[in-house]
Chains A and B, each alone.
Chain A
Amino acid sequence: LAKTTQPISMDSYEGQEVNITCSHNNIATNDYITWYQQFPSQGPRFIIQGYKTKVTNEVASLFIPADRKSSTLSLPRVSLSDTAVYYCLVGALNRDDKIIFGKGTRLHILP
């Protein structure tokens, strides 16, 4: 399992774009990058997943450089409700593979 490193916390303001970067220097060839969001007293919720280049959905964008040693989750125009912990996970996504969480990034959106 590739280890990930993220900032412990970030603050931003409503309406801003927020970028959270995750380092995964020892990512393997068949590893995917997945981001989850967790609100207090709730289970994590899938946000986005990618393998290379750029992935975009209705919630976020994921930028992955060619060497895949890092990735950036981009949240466009955040609101107060985006205050949560964001986890970057790297793994092969086999059905039985363990999902190990790092410390995550605690994002605090200010009014």
Chain B
Amino acid sequence: GAVVSQHPSWVICKSGTSVKIECRSLDFQATTMFWYRQFPKQSLMLMATSNEGSKATYEQGVEKDKFLINHASLTLSTLTVTSAHPEDSSFYICSARDSRWSGTEAFFGQGTRLTVV
């Protein structure tokens, strides 16, 4: 099946710094990718929809200036957590569907564990 790869798998950063997470579709193209965050024992919460070549669409309550999303190519979307604080510590997951087809399942990255100290 199709593969979505995230990098890094985990990252620890100091409070106030910025962290970039990459999401790549390895064997398909994705005009749209999705970013989620997940707290322990909770479900995935959709943060934003990343659109290739245009601005991301953020869900209500998600700060677009804090969570910068760039979708510069059909195989790469990045999420940058700016001025990270301990409350931003979470598990971040991206997903994508193959742009060529409708009616397919979404593929998810392995996730990135962010710890802000």
- Chain A's interface size range is 20 to 34
- Pairwise interchain contact A32-B34, C-beta atoms closer than 8 A: no
- Count of chain B residues with a beta carbon within 8 Å of a chain A beta carbon: 31
Cα A45 to Cα B6 with chains together (Å): 14
Add 14 more A-B contacts to A46-B105, A96-B49 (CB < 8 A): A34-B105, A41-B91, A42-B110, A43-B110, A44-B95, A87-B43, A93-B102, A95-B99, A98-B46, A98-B49, A101-B45, A101-B46, A102-B43, A103-B43
Total number of residue pairs linking A and B with CB closer than 8 Å: 61
**Nearest B residue to A104, CB-CB:** B43
Given contacts A32-B103, A41-B91, A41-B111, contact A95 B43 (CB under 8 A): no
The answer, yes or no, to whether B85 is at the interface (CB within 8 Å) is no
The answer, yes or no, to whether B97 is at the interface (CB within 8 Å) is yes
Contacts A/B (CB < 8 Å), 29 sampled: A34-B105, A36-B108, A41-B111, A41-B113, A42-B110, A43-B4, A43-B6, A43-B93, A43-B108, A43-B111, A46-B1, A46-B105, A46-B107, A49-B105, A93-B103, A94-B102, A95-B31, A95-B32, A95-B97, A95-B98, A95-B99, A95-B104, A98-B46, A99-B46, A101-B36, A101-B43, A101-B44, A101-B45, A101-B46
- Pairwise interchain contact B91-A96, C-beta atoms closer than 8 A: no
Given contacts A41-B113, A99-B95, A104-B43, contact A46 B103 (CB under 8 A): no
State the B residues within 8 Å of A (CB): 1, 4, 6, 31-32, 34, 36, 43-46, 49, 91, 93-95, 97-99, 101-111, 113
